[in-house]
Structures are given as structure tokens and as C-alpha cells.
Structure 1
Amino acid sequence: MATKIRLQRFGKKGKPFFHVVVADSRSPRDGKFIERLGSYNPNTNPATIELNFDKTLDWVNKGAEPTDTCRAILSYKGVLYKKHLEGGVKKGALTTEQADTKFAEWLGAKDGKIEGKKDDLTKSKDEVRKAALAAEAKKNADRAAALAIKNAPVEEEVIEETPEVEEEAPVAEATEEVPVSETTEGTEEEKA
């Protein structure tokens, strides 16, 4: 019977959650399985992976073939590297102590990278939050200034009137003054 280490999908639409299982290669994806090895949640950042390391290593040593995604998960957790080091011990290239120290160094470096990524993510979230708060404070200050201008009492502008100097019109002197009664009489006679 050919066994595979693969993922079983759980969760709702758009929010997948997977179990890492050992199953017969002929069984359906979410069907019958032999043993559950752990879980994988890609919804978190970084992805949450929980594996029973010893059971997984045992199944890999027995010949269970991981799928592509499971191979990446096992490599990320160090199962495949541990199998590689055990192969070196069997061949006599390494001693058990050397293999254990190499694996411990690798785990320390891997944990350092993971913690660094988590720290970077929290720092970037904090920076984004601070930038958003600063932008919001600026916007609120602009709104308050506009409201203060709108609600300020209107000061009436006092226009100083300049006294106009009246000039006597020399035109009145040049024109002859004709009495009104004479002009009206003359026009009536002409009409008759």
C-alpha cells in the first residue's frame, strides 16, 4: 500500500485550515486516513504549523511520500533535514553527536529567522498605526480650524467715507437761463 503525507482541508470558504495526515494514496482528499500528524493554518502570518516531529520522522523513514506542499512544510520544520543527517550517521560520515549539534544549530538559526520576521511584522504594524494616527490628528486639526473660521463672529468692515469736494459748475454760467414760463408759452403759440 503506497502511503502519502498530505493535507486534509477543513475550515470555511476562503478560510482554509488543514490537517497533515498519512493516508493511502488511493483514498479521497478529505476521506479515510491512517494517522494525523499535525495541522497547518495558512491564515496567520507567519503560517502556523504544528507537527508531531517524531511520528512524522518515523513515517518519512518508513517511506511515506509527502506531497509538494507537505514537503515544503516538513522542510520548514526540519523533518527532512533530520532524515538527511540520520542518513549520514548510517553511512558513517557523521557521528550521532555531530548530527545532533548540526540540527540544534539549524533549529536555532531557523527560530531566529522566524522571530525576526515576527518582530518586523509587529514593527511595520506599529509604524502603520502611528502614521494613521498622525494623519487622523492632522485631519482633525484641519477640520477644527475650518470650523473655527466658520463659527467666528463676522467683523463689519468700516468704510471710511471721504468727503467729496463739490465744484461749482462753470457750465451753469455759460448757459443762459431761460424761464420756464416763456418756453411753454412759445411752444403753445407755435402749435396754434
Structure 2
Amino acid sequence: MATKIRLQRHGKKGRPFYHLVVADARAPRDGKFIDRIGSYNPNTNPATIVLDFDKALDWMNKGAQPTDTARTILSDKGVLYKKHLQGGVKKGAFDEAALETKFAAWTEANAAKVSGKKDGLANAKAEAKKAALVAEAAKKDAKAAAIAAKNAPVAEEAPAEEAAEETTEETEG
């Protein structure tokens, strides 16, 4: 029986949520599955991935073939890299301790990349909020100036009319 690691769609229309499952290749997308190994939520930024690492690695070692999207998710979490390193141990290129140090270094670098993206998104959101507040303050000041200009000419027109009447009387007389 050929097994696949693939996504099983759940959620509302326009708001997908996926379960990462191991299923027979002949089973329908949302049908019967053998084992659930995680979930994937693309609605958040960055996307939320919950994965049972040991189950996923075990199924990869048993020969389950991931679909393209599932391969990307497994690669992001390091399952494919750990399987690759285990192949190096089997061939005798390095030992188990070297595998763990290489994988720990990769995990730290990946975590730093994800936290950097989260920080960048938070900073961008804060900058957008500051810009919106500045724009709102400028709009408020412009509106206040327009109201003041509208009210101010009414008080200044009366002396200007009186001065105009005096000049016309002097020219007539």
C-alpha cells in the first residue's frame, strides 16, 4: 500500500485549515486516513504549523511520500533535513553526536529566521499605526484651520465695509 503525507482540508469557505495526515494514495483528499501528524493554518502571518516531529520522521523513514505542499511544511520544520542527516549516519559519514549538533544549529538558525519575520511584521504594524496617527492629526489640524478661517472673515468684513463707505463719502463730497 503506497502511503502519502498530505493535507486534509477543513474550515470554512475562504478560511482554510489543514490537517497533515498520512493516508493511502488511493483515498480521497478529505476521506479515510491512517494517522494524523499535525496541522497547518495559513490564515495567520506567519502561518501556524503544529507537527508531531517524531511521527512525521517515522513515516518518512517508512517510505511515505509527501505531496509538494506537505514537503514544504516538513522541510520548514526540519523533518527532511533530519532524515538527510540520518542517511549520512547510515553511510558512516559522521556519528550520531555530529547529527545532533548539526540539527541543533539548524534549528536555532531557523528559529531566529522565524522570530525575525515576526519582529519585522510587528515593527511594520507599529510604523503603520504611527503614520496613521500622524495623518489623522494633520487632517484634524487642517479641519480646525478651515473652521477658524470660515469663522474669522465674518468678524473682519464689517470694518472693511465701513472703511469702504467712508472713502466713497469723501470722494462724493
Deviation at 1:151, TM superposition (A): 2.5
Deviation at 1:165, TM superposition (A): 7.7
TM-score calculated relative to the size of structure 1: 0.83
Distance 1:164 1:25, change over 3 A: closer
Unaligned regions of 5+ residues in structure 2, if any? none
Quick check: 1:80 aligned with 2:80? yes
1:37-96, CA deviations, whole angstroms, 9 ceiling, x for partnerless residues? 000001111110000000000000000000000000000000000000011111110110
Deviation at 1:148, TM superposition (A): 1.6
SS at match of 1:10: strand
> Which residue in the other structure is 2:19 paired with?
19
SS at match of 1:163: helix
> Which residue in the other structure is 2:93 paired with?
93
Alignment of 1:47-126 (within 5 A): 47-126=47-126
Distance 1:151 1:63, change over 3 A: same
**Cα distance between partner residues in 1 of 2:34 and 2:170:** 109
**Cα distance between partner residues in 1 of 2:107 and 2:145:** 57
Deviation at 1:150, TM superposition (A): 1.7
Once superposed, what is the RMSD of the aligned Cα atoms? 1.3
Say which of 163, 166, 169 aligns to 2:170: 163
> Which residue in the other structure is 1:145 paired with?
145
**Number of paired residues?**
166
> Which residue in the other structure is 2:155 paired with?
154
Amino acid in structure 1 at the alignment position of 2:155:
V
Distance 1:164 1:40, change over 3 A: closer
**Cα distance between partner residues in 2 of 1:89 and 1:147:** 78
Amino acid in structure 1 at the alignment position of 2:112:
G
**Cα distance between partner residues in 2 of 1:90 and 1:124:** 46
**Cα distance between partner residues in 2 of 1:110 and 1:165:** 92
Amino acid in structure 1 at the alignment position of 2:134:
A
Deviation at 1:149, TM superposition (A): 1.7
Percent sequence identity over aligned pairs: 64
> Which residue in the other structure is 1:180 paired with?
none
Unaligned regions of 5+ residues in structure 1, if any? 167-192
**Cα distance between partner residues in 1 of 2:132 and 2:108:** 36
